[in-house]
């Protein structure tokens, strides 16, 4: 029988791409989103790609009653992928309570509702931020967790602990926490992509908005890191590859292949790429010249991090299939479409 997956935050960036991949694998998808940081029009993009309209509910999962009502309305949910959360690192430093209240309450409400309605499978959006600046690279799932360097990062660490503790007393639920490295790019159709609000904090939306003429120039934060070209290194993963890993995680839970009640997986490409290399890739695939200047380091940034992805490759039977160039081109095609360039 067709399984139903509740995708919280499903009109957001990673959620929308995951909803598409789930629907294309014949999962029945219910999206819930508060629409605080995303737009209803994302559903049209999903429908155009998949030729189906996903079911949609607008609700704020940080509200307990709204969460319980949602699960009452959809009694046949087989799994939850919990994306819904605030994610701006800088904002979390300025408004820590807003972040703790939203990200932790929504998770606890979802867990409570899952237990009440006997929903047995959870995939949770975590982040490589839980590793801080690791001493040894690349990072494996065994790399020690370090003190978080932002309230946002701390919500991801605490969330993983909340899930662990709750599953300890609720062994009927199994969970997979996916630790994302840096998701970039957009769907190849350019019908869905990232829609940052205001001035983008993240590198790739800033690059594409600069190329589109919305920003004067990109500041490369830091030219004196101990890296080959002096700029910081990250592991940039195409959002569609990331979305496909969620489908694999869901398959794993449904197939009963999980080996522990909570499993953690790094999701990256296994390759470190510098900020300057990102700019080069963008210029190469678009043929454009990107205006940029070298600037001071951004407070809170780690120097370099990339993933060891062996565990995800083996256990999820998942490999990334898209390159940095593919991601840059798809991000640009998306930017061009939304700006009507
Ligand atoms: N960068 C610039 N100029 C910009 C924006 C970013 O040089 O205008 C640089 C950053 O300094 C960093 C790299 O590009 O070296 C990547 O920065 P992003 O902001 O795109 O991504 P981060 O690695 O800082 O953050 C991401 C996610 C967070 C997550 C974090 C974990 O956005 O949600 O990874 O490391 F917590």
pLDDT at 250: 98
Q: In what order do the strands lie in the sheet with 174-180?
A: 55-58, 28-33, 4-8, 79-82, 121-127, 174-180, 262-267
Task: Assign 298 a pLDDT band (cuts: 50, 70, 90).
Answer: very high
What's the CA gap between 34 and 264, in Å, rounded? 27
| pLDDT at residue 25, as a whole number | 97
Q: Who lines ligand 1 at CB under 6 A?
A: 87, 89, 127-129, 153, 182, 201-203, 206, 218-221, 232, 234, 275, 298, 301
DSSP element (H, E) containing 189 = none
202 CA to middle of ligand 1, Å? 5
Backbone angles phi, psi at 177, to 5 degrees: -100, 125
Q: Look over the chain and give the mean of its residue pLDDT values, rounded to a whole number.
A: 97
pLDDT (0 to 100) of residue 281: 98
User: Please, is 229 exposed, middle or buried when counting C-beta atoms within 10 Å of its C-beta (0-12, 13-18, 19+)?
Assistant: middle
Q: What is the pLDDT of residue 176?
A: 98
By most ligand atoms within 8 Å of CB, the mutation choice from 216, 221, 273, 276 for ligand 1 is 221
Q: Are strands 174-180 and 262-267 parallel, antiparallel or unpaired?
A: parallel
Q: Is the pLDDT of residue 300 over 90?
A: no
Pocket test for ligand 1, best of 143, 203, 273 (most atoms within 8 A of CB): 203
pLDDT of 232 > 90? The answer is: yes
Cα–Cα distance between 155 and 126 in angstroms, integer?
9
Lowest mean pLDDT among 12-16, 167-171, 297-301: 297-301
Can you give the pLDDT at residue 149? Answer: 86
Spatial contact of 83 and 15, defined as CB atoms under 8 Å apart? yes
* DSSP β-bridge partners for residue 294: 220
* 137-154 mean pLDDT: 94
Start-to-end C-alpha separation, the chain: 44
Asked whether the predicted pLDDT for residue 159 surpasses 90, the reply is yes
Give the model's confidence band at 227: pLDDT under 50 very low, under 70 low, under 90 confident, else very high: very high
Which residues, including other chains, have CB under 8 Å from residue 75's CB and lie 6 or more apart?
117
For 178-216, write each residue's pLDDT tens digit: 999 999 999 999 999 999 989 999 999 999 999 999 999
Quick one: pLDDT band at residue 57, thresholds 50, 70, 90?
very high
**Contact between residue 225 and residue 231 where contact means Cβ atoms under 8 Å apart:** yes
- Gap from CA of 182 to ligand 1 centroid (Å): 8
User: In this predicted model, what pLDDT tens digit does every residue of 256-296 receive, in sequence order?
Assistant: 999 999 999 999 999 999 999 999 999 999 999 999 999 99
Distance 191 CA to ligand 1 centre (A): 24
DSSP, residue by residue, 55-75:
EEEE--TTSHHHHHHHHHH-T
Q: In Å, how far are 49, 93, 107, 235, 244 from 191, measured between CA atoms?
A: 7, 33, 29, 25, 17
Q: Is the peptide bond prior to 138 cis by the omega test (within 30 degrees of 0)?
A: yes
Task: State both tokens at 324.
Answer: 């940095």
Region 306-311: what's the mean pLDDT? Answer: 98
Query: Could you read off the pLDDT of 83-97 as tens digits, one per residue?
Result: 999 999 999 999 999
């Amino acid at each position: 029988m067709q399984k139903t997956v509740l995708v919280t935050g499903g009109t957001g960036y990673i959620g929308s791409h995951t909803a598409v991949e789930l629907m294309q694998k014949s999962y029945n998808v219910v999206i819930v989103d508060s629409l605080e940081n995303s737009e209803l029009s994302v559903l049209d993009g999903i429908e155009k790609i998949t030729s189906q309209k996903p079911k949609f509910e607008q609700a704020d999962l940080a509200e307990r009653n709204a969460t319980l009502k949602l699960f009452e309305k959809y009694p046949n949910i087989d799994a939850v992928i919990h994306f819904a959360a605030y994610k701006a690192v800088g904002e979390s430093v300025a408004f820590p309570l807003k972040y703790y209240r939203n990200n932790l309450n929504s998770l606890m409400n979802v867990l409570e509702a899952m237990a009440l309605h006997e929903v047995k499978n959870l995939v949770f959006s975590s982040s490589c931020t839980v590793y801080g600046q690791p001493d040894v690279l690349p990072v494996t799932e065994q790399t020690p967790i370090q003190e978080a360097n932002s309230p946002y990062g701390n919500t991801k660490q605490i969330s993983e602990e909340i899930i662990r503790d709750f599953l300890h007393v609720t062994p009927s639920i199994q969970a997979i926490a996916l630790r994302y490295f840096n998701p970039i790019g957009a769907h190849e159709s350019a019908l869905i992509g990232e829609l940052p609000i205001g001035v983008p904090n993240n590198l790739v939306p800033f690059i594409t908005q600069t190329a589109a003429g919305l920003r004067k120039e990109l500041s490369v934060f830091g030219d004196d890191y101990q890296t080959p070209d002096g700029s910081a290194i990250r592991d940039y993963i195409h959002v569609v590859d990331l979305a496909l890993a969620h489908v694999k995680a869901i398959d794993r839970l449904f197939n009963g292949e999980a080996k522990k009640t909570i499993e953690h997986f790094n999701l990256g490409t296994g390759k470190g790429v510098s900020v300057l290399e990102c700019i080069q890739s963008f210029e190469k695939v678009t043929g454009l010249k990107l205006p940029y200047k070298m600037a001071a380091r951004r407070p809170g940034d780690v120097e370099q991090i990339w993933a060891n992805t062996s565990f995800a490759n083996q256990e999820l039977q998942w490999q990334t299939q898209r390159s940095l160039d593919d991601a840059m081109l798809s991000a640009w095609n998306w930017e061009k479409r939304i700006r009507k360039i």
